[in-house]
Structure 1
Amino acid sequence: MRDAPRPTGPPSADRQPPPPPPTGSQTFGRHLKLVLAVLLVSQFMLAVDFSILNVALPAIGDDLGFSLANLQWIATAFALSAAGFTLVLGRIGDLIGRKRIFLVSIALLGLASLVGGLATGPALLITARVAQGLATAAATPAALALLTTSFPEGPLRQKALGLNGALMSAGFTAGAVFGGILTDLLAWRWAFLVNVPVALAVLVVAPAVVRESRPAVRPRIDLPGAATVTLGLLGLVYGLTQAGEHGWTSTHALSGLLVGAVLLTVFHAVERKTAQPLVPLRVLRRRNVAWGNLLGLLAFATETSLVYLLTLYMQRTLGFSALAAGVSFGVLGLGTVVGGLLAPRVIARFSTVTALVTGGVVQAMATAALLLLGTATTPSMALLLPATFIGGIGNMLVIVGFMVTATSGLPDHEQGLATGLATMSQQVGIALGTPVMSAIVTAATHGETTGDSILHGVMVAVAVNASLVLVGVLIAAAFLRPRRS
């Protein structure tokens, strides 16, 4: 098939593939199905990487000689690089080509996973985790931008984003399940090595299926903006992870948060004066972009941290093994899949605001129901499993509503920026939620580790979690205009 001719429009216009189906079309053609399959598989793999090692951490520490104090760096190294570099790598994908950076980052992820699976010491493993985080920071916004530019705004894009959101959220919970199964039945190394064949499959199929999308004229990269936003996000995420580990008054937490806040303030000042900013402030002033990303941050922070809280509850209060706790979250994963399939229909029939508000109310009610959990296993699990299933449906309505809201109304040559902001909100939310909830549990338990104390601390954090979901509901209802297909 011949490439489409270069458009004769303004220099910033993208080189676009042949015209997509009419926006009223409700079905995917064969080529779009292949594009969707490749991008969804890669996004699922990237999401699994966020959580697959959590259950395996003790086994890794024993095998490679990590001290207890340094064990958390296996997760922190990934979170720092994944959240800190997302925005700048998403923008670079806009400039040099989203397909190109997607393929390079998937190759890096496969190589880093191979190195991690074969690591013989802490230094090499941490290096592999940093590389995995960088690959995720580049691949996630690139894949999302390729998805939004491959599908026209309207029902088809909403369906694609619904499936993407469902598989990403399912990936977070599936990571805990896979991590437990692989560690118990094989070895922790397979939590890394499982990525290698998947990455190879994507690299074989994607070049022939996914079409390139990039500006016809490449503007200069805003180096001061890139440096300040990246270092600012690194400081912010580092401060949050240290707060969860050592408390909010620790020197490392406070210094990281302070440095991050200062650098992000400097970034805002730099962007106001730069001729070709990394993030044009006019984009941030769009109501759907600003409020949509805040809602996305809250959605990911609340649901991923709830997984942490319930893991703590099941293991410390009910006495579950890591594998049993991980498998229990399969119900939550099913709920997110149902929510991902339902969300596009809600948006098409009603509006994005309806999806955001309804989903938030459902998630808040399901989370609040968990306040009735106790120390008896059977009645507690009879409540926990349906509550997490229903909460997963509600959370996915919010996530798909956020993705549609934050990426709508922008031209294709700014989709990399929009998806980079959305991915940054997602990853900062993931990095932020667990430390915040961990600090709440620590404060509520006053350092005690008995089952009853842990239960009390978890319940306090669950109440805060449900309250944050309701804050998102109020924001969506008050500041966003209904947007219907």
Structure 2
Amino acid sequence: MSGDTAKTSTVTGAHADPVTERSPLNPLRWKALALLCAAFFMVQLDAQIVLLALPSIEADLGFTPAGAQWVMSSYLITFGGLLLLGGRTADVAGRRKMFMLGMLLFGAASLLAGLAWSSEILIIGRVGQGVSAALIAPAALALLMTTFTDAKELSKALAIWAANGAIGAMAALLIGGPINDTIGWEWLFFINVPVAVLVLVIGPKLLKESRAEERVGFDPLGALTITLAVGAFIYAVVETPTVGWASPRTLLLLAASVVLFAVFIVIEKRVASPMVPLSLFRNRNLLGGNVVMLLIGMVTFGAVLLVSLYAQQVLQYTALAFGVATVVYTVMSTVGSQIGSRIVAKLGFRNMTLIAVVIMGAGVVWLTRAPVDGTYFVDLFPALVLFGFGLGMGFVSVSIAALTGVPEENSGIASGINTAGFQLGGALGVAVATAVAVAYSGTTGDAKQDLNAGYQSGFWSMVILTVVGIVVTAALFKAPKKAVAA
């Protein structure tokens, strides 16, 4: 049987035993899944929900144009930078405990962000959201993997989880634009508070505490170095549209990140209980899944940023109009994720990922031809249909690939790595798309023509990333000998 197939010994962990697989099923497991998915949807949504509200936030709180990007970047940096630490903390201290603590902090940080009376307070709130999201996401996925003890049900639960994450990542525009233009940007944050309260009330009734069955050390030095390395890297790429790739600040931060990553690897090889067991990356599917998830994050965040700028600055859409226009994007992502969750076992996640990334790439190629006098049904609608459908399928297949074969004691850190890939990719994608769009803007003197030239170049950079994704999938994922249903 192929390593590309979701099967008992791989999905539940490399060290699963028959006694564990025959353990009684948790009668509340599907309700617990719904609760965990609601939390994951919320943290994925908040990564992009402020995108269409940035002009309003900038005007109300006095952000500079360069400073406004930090409303998004502060969340991405803290979320992506602390995910590995959050995943290992969940394994050691208790997954339900960290999940509930994260939800409490997320609700409080969202309330502070909604009440923000200055730009500094809003950034503090967003940092708080990012820190708490880094606790919630890996703990929630680890809880899912320990709640479902039947291999077939676990495969289904993972597919639902991945589909939910894809929808959350793409529903931000649909939700954010109408909320901003009707009741105000503050409610982009206030809507999180009742969800957090609900989870805090019913979570203890549905979720059982779990920790790594094998004793796992905390490795504080490893946690510190990897967090600083990731943080320095994200900060460097986020600032490049403002200071440039060749600036001393960017080069020093990138150099510091490389050195810290090297120190981290040395530490992980020598400590008795490493935070990230390097043996995990011997699994080609896990390695390939996380690399492709990084690329999918780059294309998703980068393309969404560019298409929103094109629609608002070239086609003159309002935030509300563009938000409504993206409903097809969210619907198709839902369709793609649902179809993907049903056929991934038959096609294998290698084949399905290849198909999904090609479809995403086709959608972005369509956007490269978007003209100054473009129309919705000719220039945006087909691209949103293709891109949404491909992203829904791809998120499902890559998420399953990245978690297949992970031992139970490392489920928290593995889920942290997987989620970090998407968030880090998002930060990189925004930086790349912005840098390319600025560098290749026209100089004709016609504002719309010049902006549009930059956006078309930015879309081509996203096409290149999808090609890289296809190559990585073909090279790293194990090809199935035959399609076998789970």
In the other structure, the counterpart of 2:180 is 183
2:441 maps to which of 445, 451, 456: 445
CA distance in 2, matches of 1:362, 1:20: 41
Report the Cα offset of residue 337 of structure 1: 0.7
Higher mean alpha-carbon deviation, 459-468 vs 306-315, is at 459-468
1:17: how far off? 10
Q: Secondary structure at the match of 2:272?
A: coil
Contact 1:90 1:417 (C-alpha < 8 Å) held by counterparts: yes
Q: How many correspondences in the alignment?
A: 466
CA contact (8 A) 1:173 1:330 kept: no
Q: CA deviation at 1:450?
A: 1.8
CA distance in 1, matches of 2:434, 2:153: 39
Q: Distance in 2 between matches of 1:370 and 1:158?
A: 35
Structure 1 CA distance for aligned equivalents of residues 109 and 22 of structure 2: 35
CA distance 1:17–1:60, shift in 2 (3 Å):
farther
Alignment match, 1:406 = 402
- The SS at the match of 1:257 is helix
Aligned runs of 1:51-450 on 2, under 5 Å?
A: 51-152=48-149, 154-216=151-213, 218-378=215-375, 380-445=376-441, 450=447
How has the CA–CA distance of structure 1 residues 67 and 412 changed in structure 2, closer, same or farther, with 3 Å as cutoff?
same
CA contact (8 A) 1:229 1:263 kept: yes
TM-score computed with the length of structure 1 as normaliser: 0.90
Match of 1:3 in 2: none
Give the one of 434, 453, 458 matched to 1:456: 453
Separation of aligned partners in 1, 2:267 and 2:223: 10
Q: Residue 422 of structure 1: CA displacement?
A: 0.4
- Residue 355 of structure 1: SS of its match in structure 2? helix
Are 1:19 and 2:15 an aligned pair? no
Greater CA drift, 224-233 or 137-146: 137-146
**Matched letter for residue 407 of structure 1:** L
> Are the aligned partners of 1:12 and 1:215 in contact in 2 as well (CA < 8 Å)?
no
List alignment gaps of at least 5 residues for structure 2.
1-14
The answer to whether the 8 A contact 1:52-1:178 is kept is yes
AA partner of residue 451 (structure 1): K
Contact 2:217 2:275 in 1 (8 A): no
* Shift in alpha-carbon separation, 1:38–1:437, aligned structure 2, 3 A: same
Cα distance in 1 between the residues matched to 2:21 and 2:184: 44
- One-letter code of the match for 1:38? L
Normalising by structure 2, report the TM-score. Answer: 0.90
Distance change >3 Å, CA 61–CA 454, structure 1 → 2: closer
Match of 2:9 in 1: none
Whole-Å separation in 1 of the counterparts to 2:270 and 2:161: 36
The residue type paired with residue 86 of structure 1 is: L
Alpha-carbon spacing, 1:369–1:74, altered in 2? closer, same or farther (3 Å): closer
Cα distance in 1 for partners of 2:49, 2:140 equals: 21
Measured at CA, do residues 63 and 383 of structure 1 come closer, stay the same or move farther in structure 2, by a change above 3 Å? Answer: closer
Cα offsets for 1:350-394 (capped at 9, x unmatched): 21111111111222222212233222333x533421221222211
Please name the residue that 1:4 is paired with.
Answer: none
SS of the equivalent of 2:368 reads: helix
In structure 1, C-alpha distance between the alignment counterparts of 2:436 and 2:292, rounded to whole Å: 21
- What secondary structure, in the 3-state scheme, does the structure 2 residue paired with 1:56 have? helix
1:254-291 deviations in Å (ceiling 9; x for gaps): 22222212211211111111111111111122212211
Structure 2 contact 142–411 (Cα < 8 Å) conserved: yes
Cα separation, 1, equivalents of 2:412 and 2:461: 34
RMSD of aligned residue pairs (Cα, Å): 2.4
Which residue pairs with 1:25 in the alignment? none
Following the alignment from structure 2 to structure 1, what is the Cα–Cα distance between the partners of residues 22 and 128? Answer: 35
Would the aligned equivalents of 1:99 and 1:146 in 2 still touch at CA under 8 Å? yes
Deviation at 1:449, TM superposition (A): 7.4
- Give 2:471's aligned residue: 474
- Say if 1:356 and 1:401, in contact at 8 Å, map to a contact too: yes
In 1, the alpha carbon distance for the partners of 2:331 and 2:111 equals 30
User: 1:189-234: CA deviations, max 9, x gaps?
Assistant: 1111111001111111211112222124643311111111000000
Alpha-carbon distance in structure 2 between the residues aligned to 1:162 and 1:332: 20
- Distance (whole Å) between structure 2 residues aligned to residue 426 and residue 449 of structure 1: 36
Q: Cα offset for 1:321?
A: 1.6
How far apart are 1:64 and its partner, in Å?
2.7
